[in-house]
Chains A and B, each alone.
Chain A
């Protein structure tokens, strides 16, 4: 592998890790606070992509307005899911999981009904290739750079929110120990709504940002959710830092294996990475061991 191909592959991996981190961090937030394995999270990503398709491509409004609408709309969708599906199942994790599978099917069917089965492939406003480091053969589309920049900004903003704001403290407290948090006067219901809105909004952001890069279709959430589950297992279930680090690790392994061998081997390599981490450190890279 020559240097240009190596750097190009690194760029591809940085892009892949950025949107994957957005999805995985959202999934961790929801699981951490609500103890729900949200199988419909990939469909929230899909909803974000369709929101951008509608706002930006169909109505011709600015791209970043489309991203903002997608974050707000999918965040609101998350709130609806929390109130209608997950809150009634608060003490029933299996019920929550089954509800999330139901939501997955409903959202897929809804996308088919609204937008048809054919995938939408449309260009973003920054589709042109950007040469890096003055090397002509080393290029990345402006659209991919925008995804990377936005992912860093959104995750940075989330970190500040969680560490510096009262809502952030409350959210982390509920994630650590819901009973103790409730005894401190924190409303579990409100914090659950906040976690769901944030998690869904991040998935919506990832979907919207990547909608002009990958084909937007009703079933586009499948591959993303599989990658996100691998990431949160590798990073440690419930760990936000773990989700970010594992996203980078998984994306680099997958991208390099795809470039050196092929995509099918890369899928196997991703699963082997998860297996290796589970064998060596069952709680994941940043997870805490379960107390007996």
Chain B
């Protein structure tokens, strides 16, 4: 049909067809080219500090990938969309969120914090064969074949801080541990007990407190009554660490503090003093640390990521800010190896060769002895110390090396705490 011969009816018909093609075509193409990642973690409530900052990190990760034209997997290019659901660290909400993300949103992968929310999600993930990640490998068991812990080996990495202290502070011989009584606190206590025992530090007492605790003065009085060389704050929630440090400061403690996290440590310093917090050992670096520019680090431009993050979300950098994003790196690596975004294929790709490109260097898929399944990616982990008001990586320690010598001690303490996978089941 020549343009000249086109009458009004043909013109309108052709325009309508073209319009429909214009509207429908690109939409369908975009949908096909988008991979959705579920983010199912606490964004509000007491545990939000280990969820929300991670979502911010994932959004930056996705934006950066999309700005470069998307991610290429199996010959196709995908934009990445993060679909978040706030589980408030409540099992019921986590279950609802998992159902929504899988059935309604059609996500290809779900990132979770884990802990108390994981048992509610596991049956749904298993039924759907959905790949799920957790920050807490203590969630792993042979009943969780689609669950991986590829970034954080909580609480096992806590041993590196104790190990470093034993080498560098040999006079510190006694410790007291406190922890909230939950699925995050208890396995962490087992880890610290094992690490202290392995390095000849006597643990005078372990004090549990309820997660609804607001006044930490009695807890700290109980701890200081033992006159410990080391105060171990375990994996206390971010606000708890802050309050415990405030109390230690007010009640005149002058010894060493070790903690899994020291999120928002600038606030803690403001509430105590730079001198008091100097020397505190924990496990999570700021990503502007020069040690992270080492070629073995598998995280794109950590310093740039840290800068972007802080510009966009000032004061929000915490332990998990980079972790969920680093899991996306590992997921992408697995998807590329598999040439697919199908969850089962990606899992196979991730675990190919028994090794993975962990953020802190090449690591092994590990965990059979402790979790009953090799779904935790374990290698080096940094020991971080506050020096002159700033978090500094003082050394990377190799977890498998420690395990080869003291693994039995760790298993004993996990058993005593009832945290071995067969006890949890």
Stretch at the interface among B3-11, B33-41, B120-128, B215-223: B215-223
Within 203-220 of B, Cβ neighbours of A (below 8 Å) are at: 207-210, 212-215, 217-219
Cβ-neighbour of B239 out of A136, A217, A226 (below 8 A): A217
Taking a contact as CB atoms under 8 Å apart, the answer to whether B242 and A121 are in contact is yes
Residue of A nearest to B226 (CB): A5
Chain A residue with Cβ nearest B213: A263
Shortest CB-to-CB span from B206 to chain A, Å, is 8
Number of interface residues of B (CB under 8 A): 35
B6 → chain A, closest Cβ, in Å?
Answer: 57
- Contact call B48/A117, Cβ cutoff below 8 A: yes
Q: A123 to B242: give the CA distance in the assembly, Å.
A: 11
User: Is B250 in the interface zone, CB < 8 Å from A?
Assistant: yes
Would B210 and A121 count as touching, CB distance under 8 A? no
Contacts of A8 in B (CB 8 A): 221, 251
In the bound complex, residues from chain A placing their C-beta under 8 Å from that of B243 are: 121, 214-215
Cβ–Cβ contact B222 & A264, under 8 A: no
Contact between B225 and A2, CB atoms less than 8 A apart:
yes
Q: A219-B45, A258-B218, A258-B219 are in contact. Are A140 and B250 (CB under 8 A)?
A: yes
A244 contacts B by Cβ under 8 Å: no
A interface residue count range (under 10 / 10 to 19 / 20 to 34 / 35 or more): 35 or more
Rounded to whole angstroms, the CA-CA distance of A45 and B311 in the bound complex is 34
Q: Is the CB of A127 within 8 A of B214?
A: no
State whether A139 touches B251 (Cβ < 8 A). yes
Task: Give how many A-B residue pairs fall within 8 Å (CB-CB).
Answer: 107
CB atoms of B208 and A262 under 8 A apart: yes
Query: In the complex, how many angstroms separate the beta carbon of A164 from the nearest chain B beta carbon?
Result: 34
With a 10 A CB-CB cut-off, give which of A118, A127, A217 has the most chain B CB atoms. Answer: A118
- Which of B45, B46, B215 is in CB contact (< 8 Å) with A214? B215
Partner of A119, one of B43, B210, B218, B239: B239
Q: Report if A123-B181 is in contact (Cβ < 8 Å); known contacts: A215-B214, A263-B209.
A: no
- Give chain B residues whose Cβ lies under 8 Å from the Cβ of A15: 215, 217
Name the B residues within 8 Å of A89 (CB-CB).
Answer: none
**In the complex, A94 has a CB within 8 A of chain B:** no
Which chain B residues (334-388) contact chain A, with CB distance < 8 Å?
A: none
Enumerate A86-118 residues with CB–CB distance to B below 8 Å. 112, 117-118
- Residues from 248 to 266 in B contacting A, C-beta threshold 8 Å: 249-252
Q: How many angstroms between the C-alpha atoms of A136 and B224 in the bound complex?
A: 13
Find out whether the CB atom of A259 lies under 8 angstroms from the CB atom of B45. no
Q: How far is the CA of A136 from the CA of B107 in the complex (A)?
A: 59
Whole-angstrom distance between the Cβ of B176 and the nearest chain A Cβ: 12
Q: Is A241 in the interface zone, CB < 8 Å from B? A: no
Q: For the complex, what is the distance from the CA of A213 to the CA of B246, rounded to whole Å?
A: 9
Residue B15 CB within 8 A of the other chain = no
Asked if residues A267 and B225 are in contact (CB atoms below 8 Å), the reply is no
Q: Would you give the 0/1 interface string for A220-253, flagging 1 where the beta carbon is closer than 8 Å to chain B?
A: 1011101000000000000000000000000000
Residue-wise, chain A 185-223 has the 8 Å CB interface mask toward B (1 for contact) of 000000000000000000000000000011101111011
The 8 A CB mask of B27-71 against A (1 = contact, 0 = none) is 000000000000000011110110010000000000000000000
Q: In whole Å, how far is A14's beta carbon from the nearest beta carbon of chain B? A: 11
Interface residue? A280 (CB, 8 A): no
Complex interface: chain A residues within 8 A of B207 (CB): 262-263
C-alpha spacing A215/B268, complex, angstroms: 12
**Alpha-carbon distance between A34 and B384 when the two chains are bound, in angstroms:** 56
Query: Which residues does chain B contribute within 8 Å of A219, judged by CB atoms?
Result: 45-46
Question: What distance in Å separates the Cβ of B182 from its nearest Cβ neighbour in chain A?
Answer: 10
Given A139-B250, A258-B209, do A12 and B218 touch, yes or no (CB 8 Å)? yes
* Given A121-B271, A127-B250, A214-B243: A226 touches B212 (CB 8 Å cut-off): yes
Within 8 A of A (CB), among B174-191: 181
A223 vs B48: C-alpha distance when bound (angstroms): 18
CB distance from B266 to the nearest CB of A (A): 11
- The answer to whether A223 and B212 touch (CB under 8 A), given A127-B271, A215-B242, is yes
What is the distance, in angstroms, from A122's C-beta to the closest C-beta of chain B? 7
Quick check: is A38 within 8 A (CB to CB) of the other chain?
A: no
Report Cα–Cα, A9/B381, bound state, in Å. Answer: 39
B21 within 8 A of A: no
B270 interfacial contact with A, CB 8 Å: yes
Query: What distance in Å separates the Cβ of B261 from its nearest Cβ neighbour in chain A?
Result: 14
Which of B207, B208, B250 has most chain A Cβ within 10 Å? B250
Contact present for B215 and A213 (CB under 8 Å): yes
- A129 neighbours in B (Cβ, 8 Å): 249-252
In the assembled complex, A171 has its CB within 8 A of some CB on chain B: no
CA distance A254 to B212 in the complex (A): 13
Q: Are B44 and A263 in contact (CB under 8 A)?
A: no
8 Å CB contact of B45 from A1, A117, A262: A117
Give complex CA distance A259, B242 in Å: 19
Complex alpha-carbon distance, A226 and B270, angstroms: 31
A141 within 8 A of B: yes
When distances are taken between beta carbons in the complex, the residues of chain A under 8 Å from B52 are: 117-118
Q: Does B92 contact A (CB under 8 A)?
A: no
In A8-41, the 8 Å CB interface with B consists of: 8-9, 12-13, 15-16
Contact, CB under 8 Å: B214 / A139: no
Known contacts A1-B225, A117-B52, A263 near B250 by CB under 8 Å: no
Separation of A144 and B43 alpha carbons in the complex (Å): 32
Any chain B CB within 8 A of the CB of A153? no
B48 near A118: Cβ-Cβ < 8 Å: yes
Nearest chain-B residue to A16 (Cβ)? B215
Bound Cα distance from A139 to B253, whole angstroms: 11
> Which residue in chain A gives the minimum CB-CB distance to B44?
A117
Contact B217 A263 (CB under 8 A): no
Residues in chain A near residue B214, CB distance under 8 A: 214-215, 220, 223-224
Within the complex, the shortest CB–CB distance from B74 to chain A, in Å, comes to: 38
Q: Give 8 new A-B contacts, CB below 8 A, not counting A12-B217, A117-B45.
A: A12-B218, A129-B251, A217-B46, A219-B45, A224-B214, A258-B218, A258-B219, A259-B222
State the 10 A-B residue pairs at the shortest beta-carbon distance, nearest first. Answer: A263-B209, A258-B218, A223-B212, A214-B214, A215-B239, A12-B217, A259-B222, A5-B225, A117-B44, A141-B250
